[in-house]
Amino acid sequence: MEVEANILNSEEAEKLERIAFILKVVAHPLRLGIVHILEQYPELSVSDICTMLSSEQSLTSHHLQNMKLKGILSSRRDGRSILYALKERDVSLIIECLENCKCNM
């Protein structure tokens, strides 16, 4: 039996790299919670997210900033508040796929 040396083409390899990157960025319970909430609301402030997740503002802000720097979230200033939104919709699709899988969880 002959094994094909290069199974993935460059486009498929890039797609897998992107999925791995997204999974690394959101691989924390609080970050997954943030994504889940932002799937339901187009924009939320840090304080709204903290209230909904019962989390500390400093820790939540840290995770939000990290996700923004990695390109998963976008933000805009609204008066004294910063509103966050999902920038990368692929995150929702990947997480939905994992939630729907029939693995032993």
Residue 100's pLDDT is 78
Q: What is the pLDDT of residue 1?
A: 54
Rg (C-alpha) for the chain, rounded Å, is 17
pLDDT at 101: 77
Predicted confidence band of residue 103 (pLDDT cuts 50, 70, 90):
low
pLDDT of residue 105: 52
pLDDT of res. 9: 85
Nearest partner of 38 among 83, 105, 102, judged by Cα: 83
Gap between the Cα atoms of 22 and 81, Å rounded: 26
H/E run at residue 82: strand 81-86
The tens digit of pLDDT for each residue in 34-83 reads: 998 998 999 999 999 999 999 999 999 999 999 999 999 999 999 999 99
Q: What is the pLDDT of residues 27-40, one digit of tens each?
A: 899 999 999 899 89
pLDDT at 23 over 80: yes
Q: What pTM did the predictor assign?
A: 0.80
